[in-house]
Amino acid sequence: MERRVLIAVVLSFLVLYAYQALFVPPPPEPAADTAPPPTTPPPAAAPTGAPPVVREAAPDTPPPQAITTERAEREVVVETATVEATLSNRGGRVVHWKLKEYPDEVGNPVDLVPSALPADQPTPFLLAADTAELTERLNTALYRVTGDTDGRVDARTSEATVVFEFEDASGLRVRKELRFAPRNYLVTFSVSARQGDRELNPAVLWGPGLSDLGSTSVGGSFFTGNYSQPPQAIYHRDGDVERIAATSLFEQPVHEGQFRFAGVDDHYFIATVVNPGQARLEFRPVALPGTGETTRQLVAQTLRFPQPPQNVQFFYGPKQFDLLRSVDAELVRAINFGIFGFLAVPLLGALQWIYAYVANYGWSIVILTILINIVIFPLRHKSVVSMRKMQALQPQMKAIQERYAGLKATDPARQKMNTEIMNLYREKGVNPASGCVPMLLQFPVLLAFYSMLSQSIELRGAEFGLWITDLSKPDPYFIVPVLMAVTMFWQTRITPSTADPAQQRIMMLMPLMFTVFFLWAPSGLVIYWFVSNLWAIGQQYFTNWLIGPPLVQAARPPAERRLKSVGAGQTKDAEKRS
């Protein structure tokens, strides 16, 4: 039985490692932006997805005279309850998209438009036409802006609309409309464009994204605690969610079909079109200089629709579960909870329910841990009782094993030993598997907790108190992991054991292994494990008090067994004679 427990623990440890190796994407190598400059494809061809080249027209080919325009470049600031967006009338584009409720590492609002983009890289809501020359005119023109007051738009309590319009003497007429929702990070986008009598259907350029956050990360893991998913392509088609790392986009950059959502996401944020229907997507990796000698690995996307987009919704914000669900039920699948999502989602719901009362995610984790342990209390109690019975039967089991010690493992007679052991279990009412089940049941919960804490933006920057300022990051002073190690050693010492001294020494190494494993795990996860250990220790003492001290059933010496056997035989003979 003790070997089975040891094997179960080792296998569980390997499951944790395999989960990290198989289901957490490795950090990508920086990929060069090898997309060629835009060329002039045949008419009606889809755009290549390469960014438009922003440059002034050559002196010998002056651009057509603008009719509907503005005299100077200017910016318009749109403020919603959750976002401060900065738009430019140069091309009618978004140049900043700052999230009020989500600070970066230095305390400034997160800007989902990457900083310091080169002039040849587009930003959200620029357009790509059939020719490079027309694309350049669409994206360098000064549009007339309506819907603002002195350069500001207030959308904090109700929807607000900003309209960009441009017309020149060549017959080019363009109208863009962006409608901003007050709270849910949605932008409803419409565009109409004509060249003379010909209606245009330009593609929508989004440009490199999603932000500087995680784009320069060298990756990480469960063991380093600094894992941050870099930007990647993501889409929902035919009921499945596909995630494509930047380094894999060269293999198949174009994707077509009926999409539920499609865009680019990183660890905590996403820029995606919602329910576009039939569409054509093109992704390309973009490597840009970062701070110092680092490289930002970003992903650009281009979207083309069968008809000019009208009232198409774009979500541009955090991957917050309830928020995504309010936008579209399937959009929650953008959060990569992995194979244990079926547990992570209800755990997150329970955690948020508790948080609504205690207003501290650290204490919410503690309370949720206690509730989970209350649920598995009967199983753990049954496990302890079973282990106590196994401990009491150990002398009798050894006696049986000694009688067959001289036989080889392949000897058929050893089957008789197994039969005797199973008969002993049956006679004493012991189930050898019941000691392992509660421990194994905890590991899916552990992995689901890890997925929830590492992927849920609700835990990003959540403070517990004192030195723990972010439950999604490791304990900076390793205090909680050390406390967890102490409780694991304590729990191992008081747990009933049927192992020999050598096996017990091996079992005492398991807390050390898990301590190293948890040093760089999210502090919220370590708090969960620490509280679980404290509960298990208390329950162990309670069970010991409830069932009393162990009663060890010593095996009779061989001589005693022979004497009793002889005595029993004489008694039977006497009964026959009588």
Same domain, residue pair 216 and 75: yes
Label the pairing between strands 66-68 and 160-168: antiparallel
Tokens of 14: 């390997």
Tokens of 195: 């060249």
> Under a CB-based contact definition with an 8 Å cutoff, are residues 176 and 92 in contact?
yes
Same domain, residue pair 325 and 351: no
Same domain, residue pair 88 and 200: yes
Q: Which residues contact 199 (CB under 8 A, 6 or more apart)?
A: 192, 193, 308
- Dist CA 271 CA 282 (whole Å): 14
Angstrom CA distances, 448 to 25, 69, 393, stand at: 17, 55, 37
* Rg, the chain, Cα only: 33
Number of structural domains (the chain) is 2
Same domain, residue pair 315 and 352: no
Same domain, residue pair 161 and 256: yes
pTM of the model: 0.78
3-state secondary structure of 201: coil
The pLDDT score that the predictor gives to residue 164 is 98
Tokens of 184: 């849910």
Same domain, residue pair 40 and 151: yes
Burial, 386: exposed, middle or buried (Cβ in 10 Å; 0-12, 13-18, 19+)?
buried
Tokens of 412: 């058929």
Buried b or exposed e, range 512-533, using 16+ CB within 10 angstroms: eebbeebbbbbbbbbbbbbbbb
3-state secondary structure of 429: coil
3-state secondary structure of 461: coil
- Dist CA 439 CA 379 (whole Å): 9
User: Is 406 within the bounds of a domain?
Assistant: no
- Dist CA 89 CA 11 (whole Å): 60
- Dist CA 548 CA 467 (whole Å): 42
User: Is 353 within the bounds of a domain?
Assistant: yes
DSSP state for residue 6 in the 8-state scheme: H
**Which phi and psi angles does 141 have, rounded to 5°?**
-70, 150
Mean pLDDT per block of 10 residues along the chain (578 residues) reads 50 55 48 39 38 46 88 96 97 96 89 91 95 94 96 96 96 97 96 94 94 66 56 95 93 94 95 96 92 87 95 96 96 92 92 94 94 85 74 75 74 77 77 66 81 88 89 90 90 66 64 80 89 90 76 50 45 50
**Which phi and psi angles does 203 have, rounded to 5°?**
-80, 155
User: Is 562 within the bounds of a domain?
Assistant: no
Tokens of 172: 């080019």
- Dist CA 446 CA 216 (whole Å): 29
> Under a CB-based contact definition with an 8 Å cutoff, are residues 207 and 264 in contact?
no
Handedness of CA 49, 301, 165, 43 (dihedral sign): positive
Amino acid at residue number 160: A
**H or E element that contains 208:** strand 203-209
- Dist CA 423 CA 427 (whole Å): 6
User: Is 402 within the bounds of a domain?
Assistant: no
Q: Which residues contact 330 (CB under 8 A, 6 or more apart)?
A: 236, 260, 261
Beta bridge partners of 269: 318
Same domain, residue pair 269 and 172: yes
Tokens of 306: 């069968």
> Under a CB-based contact definition with an 8 Å cutoff, are residues 5 and 439 in contact?
yes
The pLDDT score that the predictor gives to residue 7 is 53
Same domain, residue pair 537 and 505: yes
In the block, residue with structure tokens 């959502």: 261
Beta bridge partners of 149: 152
Burial, 178: exposed, middle or buried (Cβ in 10 Å; 0-12, 13-18, 19+)?
buried
Tokens of 457: 């933006």
DSSP state for residue 59 in the 8-state scheme: T
Tally the residues of the chain: 578
Same domain, residue pair 376 and 457: yes
User: Is 419 within the bounds of a domain?
Assistant: no
3-state secondary structure of 407: coil
Domain extent, residue 300, equals: 31-336
The pLDDT score that the predictor gives to residue 561 is 44
User: Is 223 within the bounds of a domain?
Assistant: yes
Name the domain boundary from 287, 305, 336. 336
Same domain, residue pair 64 and 89: yes
Same domain, residue pair 256 and 389: no
Same domain, residue pair 236 and 367: no
User: Is 75 within the bounds of a domain?
Assistant: yes
User: Is 426 within the bounds of a domain?
Assistant: no
Whichever domain contains 106, its CATH number is 2.70.98.90
- Dist CA 141 CA 427 (whole Å): 89
